Amino acid sequence: MDYTETLLGLLPGSRHTPGLKELLSAAGAYLHPDQVERIRSAAEFGAEAHRGQKRKTGEPYIAHPVAAAEVLANLRLDTDTIIAAILHDVIEDTPIAKEDLAKRFGDNVAEIVDGVTKLDQIQFKSREEAQAESFRKMLLAMVRDLRVILVKLADRLHNMRTIKGMSPARRRAIARETLNIYAPLAERLGLYSMKLELEDLGFRALYPRRYRVIEKALKRARGNQKEFLTHISENIGNALAKAGIAAEVDTREKHLYSIYRKMLRKRISLAEIVDVYGLRVVVDSVDYCYRALGVVHGAYRPMPGRFKDYVAIPRVNGYQSLHTTLFGPNGLPIEAQIRTRDMHRIAESGIAAHWKYKVGEYSADHEQARAREWLSNLISMQEAGTSEEFLESVRVDLFPDKVYVFTPKGKILRLPRGATIVDFAYAVHTDVGNRCIAAKIDRRLTPLRSQLRNGQTVEIVTAPGAIPNPSWVNFVVTAKARAAIRQYLKGLRRSEAIELGQRLINQSLAEFNLSLTDISALTLAATAGELGMADADELFEKVGMGERLAPLIARRLGPAATAATATPPDAAGETAPTPLAVAGTEGLLVSYARCCFPVAGDAILAYLSSGRGIIVHREDCANVDDYRKHPEKWLSVTWAEQPERMFGSELRVEVENRVGVLAAVAAAIAGTETNIDHVELEERDAQTSVLVFEVRVRDRKHLANVMRVIHRMPDVLRLSRTLAVRTRDE
């Protein structure tokens, strides 16, 4: 009786636990007997915890976590990871708490299980939000311990293997999530064997008919191509042996999902895909990789432009190999990969291939450190907004990197396809991105939104007082850059909201001949607490963001609040409050409506919009009528004596339709030292056209001068300011 049989004999009912013998056998192949005994004990504990629970397939529930643990044992992971896999559903599906697991199996196991556990006890607005929040928790737990994602991937892999027990709708939902998130995540961590199986299982569950069609077609084509491959592999093997290079040459078949994606990407039929098979050459050292490449290219002519050197420049997940495509017999393209034995081990198992097995601990080498570097960025990403935004940000970084660029000192940075200079700046360091003002590509000044190409050298120019431009978020593609910009703007927006909220409350307190300086800090804190806010700053922020009304807050803070609420100041004959003065420099929380384009000097009013702050309109704006249903959100505003910004205004110019009239009107506007932001041409008929100019002016007087100059032109038939014609930002 072997050791596994001995352990099974010690476990009550263990011979009836599906998969347990296989798990203990896989673990016993590389772990110390004491560690295997811990795994056996965990299986006993898990079986008891899940007693009476069944899977959709009808088998005992314990079969699932045991099977997930076997996946990890085959990757030769440490004891704590395998135990956590056995117990990964205990906290979620049984009364056992995290503390109980910590006492029985240690803090490491408890933390891993907690990282995998879904957030079922929290109520979310939608299923999508729940999934995103669960994924956020899992990824942030990965930052502390990479083994969390290994357990989660093993859990998902076994669920996909047994997905037939689910309803069709549920199968499709799980399969789509697997293809969009878990398979790319496995690839990002270098777990290629797991990634390929997840993709094929997900493809079969999501598109069963397409899967069957491709599978059937490949079976028909398999015979002839395999004969070619056998001949090619023998030729290459003989050529390598003749050159004195010891190598293993084997054939590999492309997976169905990769073939399907190639059909979609290139918009071709299955009959047009000929490189379904490939060769893999495994040698002893890096030196032999390049020697073998020369031999392979000598045996079969390589395709131009299809060589990739991932040995000198590894992929971000640590994958290394030489890739080349050859012209085989009858012009059949054959993909060949050349790598060392260590590279092959890493390509199949990723970070799992680097685990060091020690009793009670684990450590990581360079590839794990590289994965941790990516994961550490998740801490800053989680502040970027909602769970859905976080999930979308991470999804961008899950796919393979395609662009390799250099710093001025020669360091290689890997960025996604389409990455811009701003993405590069944030990849160097968040502070570099925040202070970026210009950049040089190959020593030439280049716009910041320029997309990067392979091999470029990028130099970032920074300035101490520079801040991120809000428009950057519209073109950056990396999650780190987007999260850093949003986080900075979030902090900036909050400080502006607090300042605006203080001004609004001061304006309302003026009705009681008071200001915030007359209100004690204790009173402010107490009022904030009554309204469910942490402190006075949060109170000011809510008012500035339009989520709380300043007059109501003022009446809480003012003397004799009850009486003041019962008898409004205006009814008692008091004077109206002093209007809020706007200067145009208030920042993100004061914006100017693009339906009526108010400029300094116009009669204006403001509307308090929840989440957006103050929106200033002209008093004669047609859209103001829509707000009359909410008079409590109107705000009396006036212009500061000397506004400190340029304002946008839109002019509609009806002109005679002749050659050069647009240029003539634009030149007349430029002659008044006025910038033109945007021009539209609206054809009316054969004789007349309408030109729409968006211009930048200092005030109403400046605008009047521009209109006077335009009106004097002989081709101008009619001129007017836009007033609620469009509602682009309303």
Three-class DSSP labels, 411-429:
CEEEECCCCEHHHHHHHHC
**Which residues in 434-469 are b (16+ Cβ under 10 Å) and which e?**
bbbeebebeeeebebebebeeebebbbebeeeeebe
Q: Return the pLDDT at 105.
A: 92
- Averaged over 577-582, what is the pLDDT? 63
Phi, psi dihedrals of residue 581, rounded to the nearest 5°: -85, 130
Q: Return the pLDDT at 138.
A: 58
* Helices and strands counted in the chain (H then E): 28, 20
pLDDT greater at residue 406 or residue 433: 433
Q: Return the pLDDT at 223.
A: 61
Q: What does the DSSP assignment read for 190-234?
A: T-HHHHHHHHHHHHHHH-HHHHHHHHHHHHHHHHHHHHHHHHHHH
Q: What share of the chain is helix, strand, coil (3-state, %, to 5)?
A: 50, 15, 30
- Helices 208-242, 286-299: axis angle to 10 degrees equals 100
Q: Do domains 3-206 and 647-721 have the same CATH topology?
A: no
Per-chain mean pLDDT for the chain: 78
Check: CATH 1.10.3210.10 for 3-206?
yes
Query: What distance in Å separates the CA atoms of residue 190 and residue 68, rounded to the nearest whole number?
Result: 19
For 73-118, write each residue's pLDDT tens digit.
988 888 999 999 999 889 888 888 889 899 999 988 998 888 777 5
Q: What does the DSSP assignment read for 497-511?
A: HHHHHHHHHHHHHGG
Q: What does the DSSP assignment read for 510-557?
A: GGGT--GGGS-HHHHHHHHHHTT-SSHHHHHHHHHTTSS-HHHHHHHH
Query: What distance in Å separates the CA atoms of residue 209 and residue 715, rounded to the nearest whole number?
Result: 66
Q: Pick the catalytic residue from 22, 93, 100, 392.
A: 93
Q: Return the pLDDT at 725.
A: 45
Can you name the residues that pair with 638 across neighbouring β-strands? 581
Return the percentage of the chain with pLDDT > 70, whole number.
Answer: 76
The DSSP output letter for 182 is I
Which of 264-273, 321-330, 400-409, 563-572 has the largest mean confidence?
A: 321-330
Q: Return the pLDDT at 584.
A: 58
Q: Are 508 and 550 in contact (CB under 8 A)?
A: yes
Query: What distance in Å separates the CA atoms of residue 137 and residue 144, rounded to the nearest whole number?
Result: 11
For 596-637, write each residue's pLDDT tens digit.
889 988 888 887 776 566 788 888 887 777 666 666 667 777
Q: Taking the domains of the chain in order of start, what are their residue ranges?
A: 3-206, 210-353, 487-639, 647-721
Q: Are 479 and 385 in contact (CB under 8 A)?
A: no
pLDDT greater at residue 515 or residue 625: 515
- CATH architecture assignment, domain 647-721: 2-Layer Sandwich (3.30)
pLDDT greater at residue 512 or residue 448: 448
Catalytic status, residue 431: no
- Averaged over 188-202, what is the pLDDT? 87
Q: Which of 457, 444, 451, 448 is nearest to 413 (CA)?
A: 457
Which of 271-280, 440-449, 636-645 has the largest mean confidence?
A: 440-449
Residue 562 above 70 pLDDT? no
- Averaged over 542-568, what is the pLDDT? 62
- Averaged over 511-540, what is the pLDDT? 82
Q: Are 77 and 364 in contact (CB under 8 A)?
A: no
Q: Are 247 and 240 in contact (CB under 8 A)?
A: yes
Q: Are 235 and 295 in contact (CB under 8 A)?
A: no
Query: What distance in Å separates the CA atoms of residue 504 and residue 478, rounded to the nearest whole number?
Result: 38
Can you name the residues that pair with 721 across neighbouring β-strands? 651
Q: Are 61 and 50 in contact (CB under 8 A)?
A: yes
Q: Return the pLDDT at 398.
A: 52
Q: Return the pLDDT at 135.
A: 61
Q: Return the pLDDT at 611.
A: 59
Classify domain 210-353 at the CATH superfamily level. Beta Polymerase, domain 2 (3.30.460.10)
Query: What distance in Å separates the CA atoms of residue 418 and residue 682, rounded to the nearest whole number?
Result: 35
Residue 391 above 60 pLDDT? no
Q: Return the pLDDT at 238.
A: 92
Q: Return the pLDDT at 632.
A: 62
Q: Return the pLDDT at 467.
A: 82
Query: What distance in Å separates the CA atoms of residue 172 and residue 163, rounded to the nearest whole number?
Result: 10
Residue 575 above 50 pLDDT? no
Residue indicated by tokens 């492309």: 254
Pairing of strands 613-618, 590-592: parallel
Query: What distance in Å separates the CA atoms of residue 730 and residue 726, rounded to the nearest whole number?
Result: 9
- CB atoms near residue 718 (< 10 Å): 11
Residue 529 above 80 pLDDT? yes
Largest CA distance in the chain: 107
pLDDT greater at residue 227 or residue 162: 162
pLDDT band at 348 (very low <50, low <70, confident <90, very high): confident
Q: Pick the catalytic residue from 22, 37, 59, 92.
A: 92
- Averaged over 351-358, what is the pLDDT? 48
Q: Return the pLDDT at 357.
A: 37
Residue 188 above 70 pLDDT? yes
Q: Which of 311, 238, 233, 322 is nearest to 279 (CA)?
A: 233
Alpha-carbon distances of 264 from 99, 123, 259, 480, rounded to whole Å: 49, 38, 9, 29
Handedness of CA 449, 455, 457, 462 (dihedral sign): positive
Residue type for 154, please?
A
Q: What is the CA radius of gyration of the chain?
A: 34
Q: Return the pLDDT at 455.
A: 77
- CB atoms near residue 153 (< 10 Å): 24
Q: Which of 82, 76, 116, 83 is nearest to 102 (CA)?
A: 83
For 110-169, write each residue's pLDDT tens digit.
988 887 775 334 444 455 666 666 666 655 655 566 788 888 899 999 999 999 878 888
Catalytic status, residue 92: yes
Query: What distance in Å separates the CA atoms of residue 139 and residue 212, rounded to the nearest whole number?
Result: 34
Residue type for 358, please?
K
pLDDT greater at residue 580 or residue 713: 713
Query: What distance in Å separates the CA atoms of residue 353 and residue 370, rounded to the nearest whole number?
Result: 14
The DSSP output letter for 600 is T
Residue indicated by tokens 């109980």: 100
- Averaged over 528-535, what is the pLDDT? 81
Query: What distance in Å separates the CA atoms of residue 455 and residue 594, rounded to the nearest whole number?
Result: 43
Residue 37 above 80 pLDDT? yes
- CB atoms near residue 176 (< 10 Å): 13
Residue 543 above 60 pLDDT? yes
Instruction: Return the H-helix or E-strand segment holding 651.
Output: strand 647-656
pLDDT greater at residue 517 or residue 301: 301
Q: Return the pLDDT at 586.
A: 58
**Which residues in 495-515 are b (16+ Cβ under 10 Å) and which e?**
ebbbbbbbbbbbbbbbbbebe
The token pair at 702 is: 């400046």
The token pair at 648 is: 């946008």
pLDDT band at 14 (very low <50, low <70, confident <90, very high): very low
- Averaged over 212-218, what is the pLDDT? 85
Please state the separation of Cα 527 from the chain's center in Å: 38
DSSP 3-state of 6: helix
Can you name the residues that pair with 650 across neighbouring β-strands? 694
Please state the separation of Cα 124 from the chain's center in Å: 20
Please state the separation of Cα 90 from the chain's center in Å: 30
Cβ neighbors of 505 (< 8 A, separation 6 or more) are 516, 540, 543, 550, 553, 554, 557
Q: Where is average pLDDT lowest: 12-26, 376-390, 504-518, 650-664?
A: 376-390
